[in-house]
A and B are shown apart, each in its own frame.
Chain A
Amino acid sequence: MTKVMTLICERSCDLDQYVDEKSQLKDMPGCYVVKFPCSGMIQPLMIEGALKNGADGVVVTGCQIGDCYYREGNKMLRERLLGERPPGLKKNVDRRRVLGLWLSKVQPKKLLSDVKEFAGELEKLGPAAAAADKK
């Protein structure tokens, strides 16, 4: 089963009705959701940690770029992921396994469809653990 970790700003897509009590997306088992006060709080270390601990891919979701409640959180996370602002992701992190989505509170359906598509891509890539072993 493909495991996807979704790190999401609590002011971004409202996923409350799509998540079960185990923080798992109801119609996508293996896809977990962890909420943050702002996407800017997400450390690249957390993304690396999730991939190291069994996630096949990580989705980070903040609000629409330009509409951060805390002014700049999503912009900064985006720059960190693109390597334009320290601290960034380590070089050996497989960039194909990290997806950034910038969606507002009223776009949860878009998030679900994008995550589903991402999970399909991950399936083609194979499990992250196997890829790490090959190296």
Chain B
Amino acid sequence: MAQHKVYTDAVTKYVTLPLENAVNAMLTSKYNPFYYHGALPQFFLWVLFLSGLLLFAYYIPTIDNAYSSKEAINAFTSVDYITNVIPFGVVIRGIHRYAGDAMVLTIILHALRVWFTDRYRQYRWVQWFSGIVLLLVVFFIGQTGYYLVWDERSLVLTRMTVTALEAIPGVGPALKAWFINGETISNLTLSNYLFIHIGLSFGLLFGLWMHYVRMARPVLTPPPVINYALMAILLAVVFMNPIDMGQMAVLTSQPTQFEIDWFFLWPYALLLQWPPMTFWLVMAAVTIFFSILPLPFLVRGASGTELPPVEAAEVVLTKCTGCSLCDKDCPYEAIEMVPAPAGSRFKLLATVLPHRCSSCGLCVGACAFDAIDLPNNQDAEVNNKIKALLAQS
């Protein structure tokens, strides 16, 4: 299963780079959405937070009186009220649903691009791994969103989830009790769904902090023009495909059919085909597969050999003046300024955290004192090479 960099290099050379150049020719590099691929899901996250806040104002997480009448106040009727009575309620719901789909779509594009451009391994493994965890959490949050509507689809999904959880040996019953907040579906079930939906959404912020922590100056927002364009596309989708809801869930009924949102509800399509344990094992295997992709022995160069490891930059202790320009410019937060040793003329000294270093040499470019070097490409050698080339002929 070793990944050969030759193939991804070919994809970038013949597909992605020409495509990006074409977009650059139209929009200039400043407004090229490909260069903000990580910021796009982040934009949709803010849209989801805001639209979710508005929905939260009217949502009632109970299944009370679900049998009696249309006047009943419960989750379904509150969603119905949002959809049909509140001005633009259906638009807000549409924005909330399609922004979720868009977030999944842009996350996958983001993941594909970092994989094709070989920007996922070595000093970036924390970002890759936290990204996988974040995507799984996003899937789960989106699914809980579908439970919250409490129409017939929600009931089928809940029952399918309960069956799937119960099948896990050992912890199954406990997971089931956690999921529906008791032994049977009750009012507490929906408060738990709401808690998961909103609580995990804020949990995403912690995950995103992990995702960004080693990146100096992460690109979190595209230029406003791109945001407006994304919002316009989103609104166009919302108005072209206004969302509806099914029948109210009735606990005594056995609904069997529902529409699948392929961005979030694909696991349920698999659960219809496979026994629960097969499903869990396949999910675990896929997650592990993607998690270990960055391992060095799985990435091969052109000749099938392992790629060389990163050789971290080294500070020339006698030359460093502690000016901290390299610390400011390092794109991976790999340089730390420490107090200079006693007897030094300077207050600070730069040190390199080798496990974070990408060996890009940006610190070399930032240093006006030749005080930091790549061990296999020293600036003195580069200068000598330039001099030698110019001296000939």
Contact = CB atoms under 8 A, between A and B. Distances in A.
B18 interface: yes
B325 A42 contact: no
Contacts of B118: 69
B331 A65 contact: no
Interface string A101-128: 0101111000000000000000000000
Given A41-B374, A77-B365, A105 B35 contact: no
A132 to B, nearest CB: 14
B382 interface: yes
A70 B389 CA distance: 28
Contacts of B364: 41, 43
A23 interface: yes
Given A46-B382, A67-B29, A5 B331 contact: no
B132 interface: no
Given A104-B20, A107-B21, A65 B30 contact: yes
B17 A71 contact: no
Nearest to A66: B35
Nearest to B361: A41
Given A38-B360, A66-B29, A105-B13, A76 B24 contact: no
Nearest to B124: A71
Interface residues of A, number: 46
Contact of B365 (A43, A53, A64, A69): A43
Contact of A41 (B21, B117, B360, B393): B360
B355 to A, nearest CB: 16
Q: For chain A, what secondary structure do more than half of its interface residues adopt (helix, strand, loop), or is it mixed?
A: loop
B119 A87 contact: no
Given A37-B361, A41-B364, A67-B20, A49 B383 contact: yes
B273 interface: no
B24 A64 contact: yes
Contacts of B217: 72
Interface in B272-301: none
Interface in A66-92: 66-67, 69-73, 76-77, 80, 85-87
A46 B379 contact: yes
B331 A70 contact: yes
| Interface magnitude class on chain B | 35 or more
Nearest to A105: B17
Contacts of A7: 386
A40 B12 contact: no
A11 to B, nearest CB: 10
Given A23-B389, A64-B29, A80 B365 contact: yes
Contacts of B34: 67
Interface string A28-54: 011010101110111111100110011
Nearest to B24: A64
Nearest to B359: A37
A48 B332 CA distance: 28
Contacts of B382: 34, 36, 46
A14 B118 CA distance: 17
Interface of A: 1, 3, 5, 7, 22-24, 29-30, 32, 34, 36-38, 40-46, 49-50, 53-55, 64-67, 69-73, 76-77, 80, 85-87, 102, 104-107
Interface of B: 12-13, 17-18, 20-21, 24, 29-30, 32, 34-35, 117-119, 215-217, 325, 329, 331-332, 358-362, 364-368, 370, 374, 377, 379, 382-383, 385-387, 389-393
Closest 4 pairs between A and B when the two form their complex, measured CB to CB:
A41-B361, A66-B35, A70-B360, A40-B362
Given A32-B389, A107-B21, 17 more contacts: A36-B361, A37-B360, A37-B361, A37-B374, A43-B379, A46-B379, A50-B390, A55-B386, A67-B29, A69-B117, A72-B362, A73-B331, A73-B361, A76-B329, A87-B368, A104-B17, A106-B21
24 contacts: A5-B386, A23-B389, A32-B386, A37-B361, A38-B361, A40-B361, A40-B365, A45-B370, A53-B387, A64-B21, A64-B29, A66-B29, A67-B20, A67-B35, A69-B360, A71-B215, A72-B329, A73-B331, A73-B362, A76-B329, A76-B366, A87-B366, A105-B17, A106-B18
